[in-house]
A and B are shown apart, each in its own frame.
Chain A
């Protein structure tokens, strides 16, 4: 599987702050880039996703920024809340609909 690199590994943000998680990919054949949120003891839940022909997508407090030329994309969480504390995974979808995941970011939002 082609690699998807994710950073940072962990992130601590104050309540109300902005959380930013970055991912970079290598395979230009990837055609869909979702972000998943995973709470302890739960399966990953789809948060937001973007196609490579779009540079930004916003859903509520969550925004994906996509830079096709740089092969990078990022998740921005505005007005971060303690309830956002979870592990976040970026992913990239291949031609067979399989996902390649980043290594994950453990986000802690302090009250």
Chain B
């Protein structure tokens, strides 16, 4: 299993500002993912952040808006840049530990409200 800690857990942000979300895992993992969950909606993959390579973004998400860092096997950050109210969401870090990566775990999420 894996224990994932995210910071901040919740924040209220001003329009036009940027916020960096941190994800810390209690074990080394190669595969790490960032998801977004808009209010009352399902989860959508933003990007895959594997250590040692550039993040891979899904359609509709760009690096300028959501820059990601993955400095080591236990840590990653997601920045939400130039925020607008439409960015109000839960941002979730996810990992697939182990050789097969069969079990995918999620953090508790970072709940952002943009005003």
If the complex has contacts A1-B58, A96-B48, are A101 and B43 also in contact, measured as CB distance less than 8 A? yes
A98 and B102 contact, CB distance less than 8 A: no
Task: Tally chain B residues at the interface, Cβ within 8 Å.
Answer: 25
- C-alpha gap A102/B44 in the complex (Å): 10
- C-alpha gap A42/B10 in the complex (Å): 12
Least CB distance from B26 to A in Å reads 15
Least CB distance from A90 to B in Å reads 10
The residues in B between 81 and 115 inclusive whose CB is less than 8 angstroms from any CB of A are 90, 92, 94, 96, 101-109
The answer to whether A93 has its CB under 8 Å from any CB of chain B is yes
> B44-67, CB under 8 A of A: which get 1 and which 0?
110010000000101100000000
If the complex has contacts A1-B58, A43-B92, A43-B109, are A97 and B104 also in contact, measured as CB distance less than 8 A? yes
- C-alpha gap A43/B57 in the complex (Å): 22
Least CB distance from A70 to B in Å reads 22
A104 and B42 contact, CB distance less than 8 A: yes
The answer to whether B75 has its CB under 8 Å from any CB of chain A is no
> B18-44, CB under 8 A of A: which get 1 and which 0?
000000000000010101000001111
- C-alpha gap A42/B106 in the complex (Å): 10
Task: Tally chain A residues at the interface, Cβ within 8 Å.
Answer: 21
Cross-chain contact of B103 among A42, A46, A103 (Cβ < 8 A): A46
B104 and A46 contact, CB distance less than 8 A: yes
For B96, list chain A residues within 8 Å (CB).
97
B residues with a Cβ closer than 8 A to A are 31, 33, 35, 41-45, 48, 56, 58-59, 90, 92, 94, 96, 101-109
Of the A-B pairs whose beta carbons lie under 8 Å apart in the complex, a sample of 24, sorted by A's number, is: A1-B45, A1-B58, A34-B104, A42-B108, A42-B109, A43-B90, A43-B92, A43-B106, A44-B92, A46-B104, A46-B106, A49-B102, A97-B31, A97-B33, A97-B96, A97-B101, A97-B104, A98-B33, A98-B48, A98-B58, A99-B35, A99-B45, A101-B43, A104-B41
A residues with a Cβ closer than 8 A to B are 1, 32, 34, 36, 42-46, 49, 89, 93, 96-104
